[in-house]
Structure 1
Amino acid sequence: MKNNFILRTFMCSDIILFCFFILIFRMIQIQLFDSKNYKEAVKSQTDIVKNEGGERGNIYDSKGKGLAYSINMYELSVDPKRFVESEKGAEALKELINKKYIKENYKPLLVTIKRLGEQKRRYKRLNKNVDDVEKKEIEDILEKHGIKGKNIIFLEVRKERRYYRSDLYFFLVGNIGFKNKTEKEGVFGIEYLYENYLKGEKTLKTISGIRGLGIGLPTSQARTKVNLNGMDLHLTIDNDLQYILNDEVEKQYKKTNAEEAYAIMMDPNNGKILATSFFRKNKKNVANPIFQSQIEPGSIFKPLVIAAALNEKKITRNTNFDIGDGTIKKYKHTIRESSRKIKGILTTEEVLKRSSNVGMVLIGDRFTNEEFDHYLEKFGLYEKTGVDYPYEKKARHVLPKSWHGLKKSTMSFGQGIAITPLQMITAFSAVINGGTLYQPYLVEKITDRDGLVIRRNLPLEKRKVISPNVSQQMRSMMELAVLEGTVVKAHVEGYRVGGKTGTAQFSENGRYVKNEYLASVVGFFPVEKPQYAVMVVFFKPQGDAWYDKSGGTAAAPVLGEIVKRVTKLKNIYSQSIENIKVQGKKQNFKKVENNQELLVMPDLKGMSAREIIEIFKGSDIELEISGVGVVESQSPEPKKELVDVKKVKIKLS
């Protein structure tokens, strides 16, 4: 018996030991040899992998106005398979329909969802445009019915790009779209050019949890990059100036029934583009003509040629030119003045003021072809400006040795040379800013979401073109053109404005079209220290007579209206107001009567509240101002004595 017991004991021990060795072997196999496969199997059942990406950067104007930005939108969906297995889904669905979060009838929708559930379908969209406010209310309903987070009825977030006033900014800011059918990216304008800064970074985020429910475990650790968001762009564009420019151009575009109209406003002292605008009847053409189309500028080109001649001392401001009867023959072609009244002896100043074509030909004759070509190159007309906008067009450079006989003569008054509007206003800015050609730009700086500046675009001086003295003379002559010449319709009482109009013949397929013109104006203000340079162009304006289609009639009034509105917006005091202020401060509105000095009331009509406060600053007179706008009435009346007056009442309207 004893031997049998010992034998059985050994047999049991051997069996247990054998099983133990098998277990050890299996553990070694699992831990060392098959561990990778088992880890992957566990991960496939527990790990939730999410593809996360940062938000696309925003685009702002120079004052922080959002022009392009991303917002969260949500899709409300249902998992039909889980829905039919749930007891509470139907009640939640009914409440969502009653509160208009789902715009379908309850019973038909319930039948559809149950049918899909029986087919083991896992997805049906209920509402694709849920905003943040609606999301919170929907989540409260799901939580009330105890199905929030169970993926029965659920919300999925998506990013949507929104644009402020696309009618103003679409062709400048651009837009985003699908290029690779999976992710949206910039396809046009600034959105396209700065794609690498604007786009957010992408990463995969892994969370351990219940994969079937999409719920992460509290102890799980997920690592991802802290900031995946794209950078923000801050433009040089001023939204207020953009609105004014666009509004005035649109009004005249409709009035003249032009085929196209475009305009640009720039700070001539640094190359900042402050506003752009354009309209066209042909909606299929999506190119931005300010950067991507070439025009023959016409007479707005003349200041460049005169500035070059003054700078080379080939002429002076008072050099006389005999234009005879207003015609000149060059290489068997007759060049005529636009008006029969232009004839006789004209000074350089009068050539510019009256926009004499023959006078410009005579000025051009003082250059050799090579000298003329050299200044065109210095003004940047043979190269891209370098502006930060995609697909800028470059002018074609024909070497002087290949010029035909009339080439220099016609270029002298802006025909026979094709440049972009941006090239034109950039070169014009060099004429008025003291002689420096700057590279134009649209993006002032790039920041991260914390406001840290990643990149800043600074004014880039490309070259000195003319001397400061010549620039000052050009400003003075162009001011005279506004006061007495072809730009008189841009004159604004009390403000010093300079400019030049143009009326270029429209060319098509290498030939000029009869009675079709390109009417334009370039201008600047204030004359003494220009802060704004403006160019406005109307393509094929319509009218009963040539006069109605000319730059002086079709374009110059727009410059005047822009000056009026911008000076009010930016509180630029007129010259007459400056005189009133000096009188008010230094002379105390004094007049002498019977050897006695008396205070008199100035005429305030048409002034703003700020201007009035400036006038009476430092006096003992109390101001009572009511209303908004400019002065409609005042008490006391103008020129009334103020000796015993303690209060002045002003009504604005």
Structure 2
Amino acid sequence: MKNEKDIGKQFWARSCFISVFVIGIFFVILLKLVEIQLMDVYNYRDLAESQAMKKNIIVPKRGIIFDRKNRIMANSSIGYSIGARYIDITNPDETFRQLGKYLNTPPSEIASIFKNKRKYYIMIKENFHGIRFEKKLNRVYPYEDTGGQVLGYVGWDNKGVTGIEKLFDESLQGVQGWEQVQYDRKGRRVSVSGLNGEAKKDGGNVFLTLDVDYQAILEEEIQKAVRDNGAHHGMGVLVNPNTGEILGMASWPNFNPNNAMAFPMENQKNRVISDSFEPGSVFKIVAAAAALETGVFNRQSLIYCEGGEWELLGRTIHDTKESEWLSFEDVIVHSSNIGIGKIAQQEGDEALYQMSKNLGFGEQTGLFPGMEVQGKLNPTSEWGKISSSQVAMGHYVTTTLLQLVMAYSAIANNGLLLQPFIVRSAYSPDRELLASGEIEVIRRAMSETTASTLRDILERTVAEGTGKNAYIKGYRVAGKTGTAQKVVDGTYSKKQYVS
């Protein structure tokens, strides 16, 4: 057996070992603390700051869109987003009951929205436990559906989807800013000066040539015409023929960009530039212009109109009014298919094709790049023996309403085809001028003499011809009527028309 002396020695040895071990651990910890405090202080400070710092994005205000009289057609306002996770709401029944009063929505519907993790937007002051409120910018269109198809709208990401909003999206959006924000350990924001950041740049503004008053009248008249005639849709455009400025542009049915998703996509289309159609008799003026330019006819030249029925290479062409001889002028005034068909045959394919090109058919106007169609004007190499007569009557060629209006504007403007424009000026977020609407002559489409003759003929058409419904006493009104059968499943319909 070990004596007490041996046991004491063992105890002393173990105690010394433990003491040395503890002291060693203490010195290791002490050295590490010294290293942290003196050697790695900057690394740990940066780590701590990075955990307490957050880079916040500052969203710029989207630019304003004005009409020609500087009335606001599109703006951005501060709204509030309200959202929650259902599991965070401690008293759902009471919360949804209170929210229902402000949202004018049944509590059961609100409960369903939150359960599906969807957001509901409302400006509200009261706070509810579990509900989070976030400030956001909402796009607002004060005139609601007036001009909606021209203005377009923005999506949930504040990016332009259609119209002017899309065309000038980059400049309207502005430039995001950012700020470095410091928070305390409880997540509260701490105001500290000298932190990094960059100021936001609000979007640049756009000034249009549209007039809200004209636009509203145009939309009202289109809606009335659609209703009175039982039509599927209608469209119209107001242009200053001397400058090319678009004063009004609309189609019906329309939509309200404040709530774009509530309307069918068809309503959002700007049909003035997106739809092409066979123009029918309104295209007769193109063949007439070509005939006058070539000198083959003058306004008093006589054309035999076959008593209202003409057999042309197996095709029968009819007139609504039976006539024997008509002057060149009366062919247009009374819209004779036979007369214009014979004029086109004599002037030749190339003359008709070239005048069509001169007046801008078969090419985009450039008003809304990437959003408009160019219509169809086939080269003469693809024409048949009677194609010129058919094209002269507005068949086998398609056009947008804007192309057609600009062609007629060339007649009003002494033969000059102008570039249409709808933006007076547009600015970048740095307030630099990006676009400026100016009178731009694309080309001379016809001589001044031809344009003057056609204006006289078109005035007679309204005063005593097929356009009598457009006559306004005390005003000089020039125009041409036109009706074309719609092509349905590859054949001309006998029930559907474009007029």
Q: Tell me, yes or no, whether TM beats 0.5.
A: yes
Aligned pair in 2 of structure 1 residues 371, 197: CA closer, same or farther (>3 Å)?
Answer: same
CA separation in 1, counterparts of 2:103 and 2:229? 50
Opposite residue 320 of structure 1, the aligned amino acid is: L
Task: Describe how 1:470-549 pairs up with structure 2 within 5 A.
Answer: 470-519=450-499
How does the TM-score come out when normalised to structure 1?
Answer: 0.62
**Counterpart residue number, 1:159:** 137
Matched, 1:173 2:166: no
- SS of structure 1 residue aligned to 2:159: strand
Aligned pair in 2 of structure 1 residues 200, 333: CA closer, same or farther (>3 Å)?
Answer: same
Q: More deviation in 423-432 or 71-80?
A: 71-80
Q: 8 Å contact 1:208–1:220 — kept in the other structure?
A: no
Q: 8 Å contact 1:207–1:220 — kept in the other structure?
A: no
Q: 8 Å contact 2:294–2:351 — kept in the other structure?
A: no
Question: What is the aligned counterpart of 2:440 among 460, 464, 474?
Answer: 460
CA separation in 2, counterparts of 1:333 and 1:440? 39
Aligned pair in 2 of structure 1 residues 333, 26: CA closer, same or farther (>3 Å)?
Answer: closer
Opposite residue 163 of structure 1, the aligned amino acid is: Y
**Counterpart residue number, 1:285:** 266
**CA-CA distance at 1:479 after TM superposition:** 0.9
Matched, 1:29 2:10: no
**CA-CA distance at 1:490 after TM superposition:** 0.9
CA separation in 1, counterparts of 2:55 and 2:105? 34
Report which of the two has the higher share of strand: 1
CA separation in 1, counterparts of 2:247 and 2:293? 29
CA separation in 2, counterparts of 1:83 and 1:258? 52
**Counterpart residue number, 2:175:** 201
**Counterpart residue number, 1:41:** 48
CA separation in 2, counterparts of 1:51 and 1:59? 25
**Counterpart residue number, 1:260:** 233
- SS of structure 2 residue aligned to 1:175: coil
The answer for unaligned runs of 5 or more in structure 1 is 1-18, 85-89, 106-111, 113-123, 520-653
Aligned pair count reads: 451
Matched, 1:304 2:310: no
CA separation in 2, counterparts of 1:346 and 1:375? 23
Matched, 1:406 2:370: no
Question: What is the aligned counterpart of 2:335 among 344, 352, 355?
Answer: 355
Q: 8 Å contact 2:152–2:164 — kept in the other structure?
A: yes
- SS of structure 1 residue aligned to 2:475: coil
**Counterpart residue number, 1:129:** 122
- SS of structure 2 residue aligned to 1:187: coil
| Percent identity of paired positions between Structure 1 and Structure 2 | 26
- SS of structure 1 residue aligned to 2:346: coil
Q: 8 Å contact 2:146–2:219 — kept in the other structure?
A: yes
Q: What per-residue deviation string (whole Å, max 9, x for no partner) do you get for residues 34-73 of structure 1?
A: x23431222312x243121101222222222222221111
- SS of structure 2 residue aligned to 1:423: helix
Q: 8 Å contact 1:355–1:486 — kept in the other structure?
A: yes
Q: 8 Å contact 2:286–2:352 — kept in the other structure?
A: no
Aligned pair in 2 of structure 1 residues 493, 420: CA closer, same or farther (>3 Å)?
Answer: same
Opposite residue 137 of structure 2, the aligned amino acid is: K
Opposite residue 237 of structure 1, the aligned amino acid is: L
Q: 8 Å contact 1:299–1:504 — kept in the other structure?
A: yes
Q: 8 Å contact 2:58–2:177 — kept in the other structure?
A: yes
Question: What is the aligned counterpart of 1:215 among 189, 194, 199?
Answer: 189
Question: What is the aligned counterpart of 1:73 among 79, 86, 104?
Answer: 79
CA separation in 1, counterparts of 2:87 and 2:490? 70
Aligned pair in 2 of structure 1 residues 20, 158: CA closer, same or farther (>3 Å)?
Answer: closer
CA separation in 1, counterparts of 2:119 and 2:232? 46
**CA-CA distance at 1:171 after TM superposition:** 2.3
- SS of structure 2 residue aligned to 1:513: strand
Matched, 1:336 2:318: yes
Question: What is the aligned counterpart of 1:237 among 201, 210, 219?
Answer: 210
Opposite residue 337 of structure 2, the aligned amino acid is: N
Opposite residue 306 of structure 1, the aligned amino acid is: A
**CA-CA distance at 1:492 after TM superposition:** 0.9
CA separation in 1, counterparts of 2:383 and 2:480? 27
CA separation in 2, counterparts of 1:327 and 1:204? 76
**CA-CA distance at 1:97 after TM superposition:** 6.2
Question: What is the aligned counterpart of 2:398 among 395, 414, 418?
Answer: 418
Q: Which has the higher contact order (CA 8 A, sep 6+)?
A: 2
**Counterpart residue number, 1:345:** 325
CA separation in 1, counterparts of 2:76 and 2:50? 34
Task: Describe how 1:369-448 pairs up with structure 2 within 5 A.
Answer: 369-388=349-368, 390-447=370-427
**Counterpart residue number, 1:368:** 348
Aligned pair in 2 of structure 1 residues 257, 127: CA closer, same or farther (>3 Å)?
Answer: closer
Q: 8 Å contact 2:462–2:468 — kept in the other structure?
A: yes
The answer for unaligned runs of 5 or more in structure 2 is 1-28, 112-116, 255-262
CA separation in 2, counterparts of 1:104 and 1:498? 55
